[in-house]
Every structure is written in structure tokens, then in C-alpha cells.
Amino acid sequence: MKDREKAKQLRNIGYNYFGPILVDFCRWLHSERKIIEYNNILLFVARDGHLLKRIYNTLYPEESCEYFLASRISRHFSELTSIEKVAAELRRSASDYSYRNALKLWYDLKLPLFFNLQHPKEKEGHARHHLSFYDFAIQHSDLIFEKALIHRKKYLEYTQRIIGSKHPIIVDIGYKASTQAFLSDLLEHDVSGLYMVTHKEAMRVCKDSGLIRSYDGLFVSAKDQKSVVNNYRFVFEAILTAPSGAFVAFDQLGQPLFERDVRSQITRQIISNIHSGILDFANDATCSKRKIEQIENSKCKVKCLLSSPTKTQAQLFEGLEFCDSFKTTERLYIVSPQSKRFDSFSLWAEGQLRADDINLWDPWRAFGSVCVPIAKPFLPKGQYLRLKTNCRKFIFDKL
């Protein structure tokens, strides 16, 4: 398929499938914010809120909203206020690349390659071959506490400058609503949240930090398949991700630090073309009543596309990846670039690596979290079995 034709078809997919569902979500936001607080402001959380804010501004240019810098790393950096918390975060670095990478970037600390995984008290009578988390935390506690305090102060100043006296409403793809919990703790009052989907873990946030509403599934299981957004969350995240590196933290002058954008050129081109179609639809939706029917049926249309794509449609996404450099050094392909070699699509839509559950140090667990039922409609049984074999080979090669 020629590049020009592929770009045109990707724009059509953005216009006809993802445009309607995202416009519908923004219309839902507009109606929900009216019943929360009169004087409020929508905070579209980085990085998934970037495109949503552009759509919302197109539909409702007169309403107040901001792009809000937040990330898993920045939240944790503001909460390192005790040796125990520091040690707990260091423990994550044993299996989570994000902390090893971010601690080096923000604190300028080079973590040991290996940590002793046990608390010193648990090691009495045993030889200790590696530095423990507690040893490292105690050695660098003054530096870590000082920077955590500075970061929390700068984060509070940044947040207060954005929201002023208005009631903040977090807007995000959702899941655990952890940004809402952090912001409520930072401001010391309730914060509301409007999400595409939320998992059961967000119930605690709703109880402790403020109102939560969801567009496509409220407090569902992480493995729920009825919610279109949840079942295909890596596709949505790939599409919604802002064209910039992830936010890391604020420096001592209050300036934001960003990780570099590590997405491949293929992924950037795919997403750029889809974005173009989505924004075209948003512009047309403001002046055409004929778009209402498309918007109302948007969830069904997206589900049909992602659950039973034609082979041509699947090929359009070839090389698309869900990439979180803070979570893993590996690239998680939604459609593997190796698919041509096997005439099949290794990881498409439901055949996602479920990054919430995956343990990158355990290939068998990784393989167990991959399913490829979507291939059945267009692959004979023999090729489908070969696809599963290829999928396993692909994962083991990457791990």
C-alpha cells in the first residue's frame, strides 16, 4: 500500500471511528461538569489529555480548561517523605525501569544494578551480598528528602497558578484515578474526576478524594471486556498520547522536565494521520447536525473495528506501538512490524500485552497475558495456530 493511500485511509479511520467516540466523550464532559460545581475548571491530564483538550476547545472554545502536567513519577517524587517510603520506591526499581531511569534523571542517583530484596532485619544470620533498599535510602536520605520537598512545593505553586479559586476537575483516560488522589492530597480538599473508564481501585479515591464519573465503565475490573475503552485501552492510549516526551518533574526553578519521546517514526506517522481525521470530524461536528447519528453509535462502531478488522484495516496499523519508556525499555506492539514475515498480526487490539499485569522478568507470564482471538475472522485454523506460536516467539525474542 502506497504511503499516500495509507495516510488517507488512516485519516478516514480517525474521522469515521475515533473522531465520533472522542467527540461524544467531550460532549459528555460538557454535560457532567455543569452538575459538579458552577465555578470549575477542567484539567486535561498529560499525556493522554492533549488530544482531548484540543477536541474540547474546538467544541466549546468559551469554556475554561487547561493541560495539566502530571505523571506517575512526578506523584511519587512528591511523596518521598520518610525512609520507609523511599525504600518502597527503590524496591520498585528492581522490576520497574521507570524508577531506575527517573531517579537517575531527577536525583542524579545511579542505583546499584542489584538490590538485596529483603529488609535488613529479615537478613539476620545471613550473608548480605547486595546493598539493601534501606541502606541506599539512608545513605542518600538528606538529598532525597530535600528534593522531594522542593518538588512538592513547586508542584503546589504550579497547580494553584492554573486553577486559581476554581474547583478542579481531573479529565483523563482513567483507571485508578491516582492523579485525582494526589491532587486532593496536595490541595488538601476534594477534587472531582471525569474519566473514560475507571477500575475498581478508584473506589477508594472516590471515597477519600472526591466525586468520580466515568463515560464507559465505572469501577470495572481491569480485565473487563464490556467497556470498549478498557478492552482496547492500549489502542486508545497510543492514539491519545501527546506528541512529546512524558513529564518527569519540576526542577528547583519550577521548570518542567520531560523525558524524550521514544516512539518510532512509524507510530508517529500513524497517530498523526489519525489525529488529523479526528480533528476534522470535531470541526465538522460543530456545524453539522448530520454528525449526531455517527456520534450516538460511536462505541459500537469502534468495537466493530477493533474486534473484527479486515486484513486491510489491520495492515494500516502495522508497526503501531504502545510505548511507555518509564514503565519498560521494551516496545509493546499493537500490530507487530514482524507480521509480514508470518503473514499474520502478532499483537492487534485484543492481542495486547497487558502492561498492568505483565512481569517482564517472567516470559511465561508475559505469554499467558496475550490473547489473539481477533485473528480468527480472517485466518484459517492452521494459520491461527501458527499465529499463536509466532506470538509466543515474538514475546520471547523481545524478553
pLDDT tens profile 149-207 = 888 999 999 999 999 999 999 999 999 999 999 999 999 999 999 999 999 999 999 99
Are 219 and 200 contacting, i.e. CB atoms less than 8 angstroms apart?
Answer: yes
Are 220 and 200 contacting, i.e. CB atoms less than 8 angstroms apart?
Answer: yes
Same domain, 181 and 149: yes
Same domain, 276 and 147: yes
Same domain, 260 and 352: no
- 259/289: higher pLDDT: 259
What are φ and ψ of residue 241, in 5° steps? Answer: -60, 130
Exposure letters 7-39 (e unless 16+ CB within 10 A, then b) = bebbbbbbbbbbbbbbbbbbbbbeebbeeeeee
Are 399 and 360 contacting, i.e. CB atoms less than 8 angstroms apart?
Answer: yes
Same domain, 35 and 68: yes
User: Which whole number is the average pLDDT over 229-247?
Assistant: 85
Q: What is the pLDDT of residues 302-359, one digit of tens each?
A: 988 887 777 778 778 877 877 665 555 455 566 655 555 444 444 443 334 443 333 3
- What count of other Cβ atoms lies within 10 Å of the Cβ of residue 382? 8
Same domain, 241 and 324: no
Same domain, 274 and 341: no
Same domain, 147 and 248: yes
With 0-12 / 13-18 / 19 or more C-beta atoms within 10 angstroms meaning exposed / middle / buried, residue 373 is: exposed
Are 220 and 240 contacting, i.e. CB atoms less than 8 angstroms apart?
Answer: no
Same domain, 112 and 251: yes
Count of structural domains, the chain: 2
Same domain, 12 and 88: yes
Q: What size, in residues, is the chain?
A: 399
Same domain, 71 and 206: yes
Same domain, 167 and 269: yes
- The domain in which residue 244 lies consists of 1-297
